[in-house]
Structure 1
Amino acid sequence: MTRSALLVMDVQLAVTARYPDPDYLPRLATAVDAARTAGLPVIYVVVGFRPGAPEVDPRNRMFGAIAGRDTPAQAAEVHPAVAPRPDEAIVVKRRVSGFAGSDLDMLLRASGIDHLVLTGIATSGVVLSTLRQAADLDYELTVLSDGCLDNDPEVHDVLTGKVFPMQADVTTVDKWIGDTLTNHD
């Protein structure tokens, strides 16, 4: 029997501030609330580093600018509109993929989870990287297309319309709630 979890990735205050979309957080909150109501685990994935960011190589194009610097503590804080409950897991990753430098795979396997429902910011970042790695780790995958956000709508559309369907089911928050969660045991 398949056991699913909703992954909410990189929906941190520092990230959401760079992706202004007034409809995104309420829509994502709907997915989070529906997962909780259906009894599905909601797992949060955030990017974070130790003081001085010793995990970051200055050659890294994405994170190199913070090598040797402290990041503010609130940088890892999930946006309050979709904040985790005290009993929900928060996984800290060190790169783009939710699996990179984290214990996500161990947590999922220990919980018997084999199906991931992916959401997050950005579609071309954490969602793409996590999807690819999760597929290689043999997880079943669903992507909530409108539960993902990217600064480039064209890239978002190409990924959710053409790339992701090769390795995942792609649907919307409302369709996922109506088709999947309503019939969830």
Structure 2
Amino acid sequence: MNDTEEKIFFEKRGFGKNIGFGERPAILVVDFINAFTNYQNPEMVLSSNLEKQIYETNRLLDASRPLGIPVIYTTISYDDDLLDAGIWVLKQSGLETLRAETEAVKIDCSLHSQDNDSVMTKKYASSFFGTDLSSRLTSQQIDTLIITGCTTSGCVRASAVDAVSYGFRPIIVEEAVGDRSVAAHNQSLFDIQAKYGDVVSVETVLSYFERIKS
């Protein structure tokens, strides 16, 4: 089947319906850290060019500020002995570069961050696994998680799957997520839209912000 035939095939079987926005959103910026974004540094072996995705994320951050929408950044880092990396480090040797308190694991400074934003450290792909993200969102009565970051096929997808599993509405912003592989990026967006969350444009989210502002 070609792409159009696949889309029709899934739609006929009830996949890909929209969950929609809720009433209380938060923005989750997944792993826009130097190790993943500083593609000009050859030591950052996990990096790729994500300048466009960061630009689009900043558009959302700027628009969210007057509304007081919570912003949470994730980073991923490990102790020097890598014991907290488990067996995952056996699969990806690049994880060895993600050492705690190094420049590699700091949030990219080109993001429009503010002092009251949250930074959360995780150890594995999902932003929920082994963290207090779910309780943070629940305590603020958040029902909608607007997700940007990287990588689409890895930590973004895993976070979206867990978000819907915990009862949050995952909204993945297409222009604001990126991957090292175009094929993996596109397939993951298709998969998320089919089964786990809503893949929407930046403009759709900005329009949503305008609605809740009024």
TM over 0.5: yes
Q: Indicate which of 104, 114, 120 corresponds to 2:149.
A: 120
Which of the pair has more CA radius of gyration? 2
> Aligned AA for 1:181?
F
Q: Which residue of 2 aligns with 1:145?
A: 174
Q: Indicate which of 181, 184, 188 corresponds to 1:159.
A: 188
Change (3 A) 1:131 1:70: closer
Q: Which residue of 2 aligns with 1:53?
A: 82
Moved over 4 A (4+): 62-67, 69-72
Q: CA–CA distance in 1 between the matches of 2:187 and 2:92?
A: 25
The question of whether the paired residues in 1 share the 8 Å contact of 2:28 and 2:146 is answered with yes
Percent of pairs identical after alignment?
21
Change (3 A) 1:70 1:143: closer
Deviation at 1:65, TM superposition (A): 6.4
Instruction: Show structure 1 runs of 5+ residues with no match.
Output: none
1:43-74 Cα offsets, whole Å, 9 max, x none, are 1111122343331224644456657x955522
The question of whether the paired residues in 1 share the 8 Å contact of 2:128 and 2:162 is answered with yes
Normalised to the residue count of structure 1, the TM-score between the two structures is 0.87
Change (3 A) 1:52 1:60: closer
- Indicate yes or no: 2:23 matched with 1:2: yes
Q: Indicate which of 7, 29, 36 corresponds to 1:15.
A: 36
SS of the residue 1:183 aligns to: helix
Q: CA–CA distance in 1 between the matches of 2:135 and 2:192?
A: 27
Instruction: Show structure 2 runs of 5+ residues with no match.
Output: 1-21, 39-46
Deviation at 1:172, TM superposition (A): 1.1
The question of whether the paired residues in 1 share the 8 Å contact of 2:34 and 2:108 is answered with yes
Change (3 A) 1:70 1:3: closer
SS of the residue 2:189 aligns to: helix
Deviation at 1:134, TM superposition (A): 1.1
* Structure 2 counterparts to residues 73-152 of structure 1, below 5 A: 73-152=102-181
Number of equivalences: 183
Change (3 A) 1:156 1:91: same
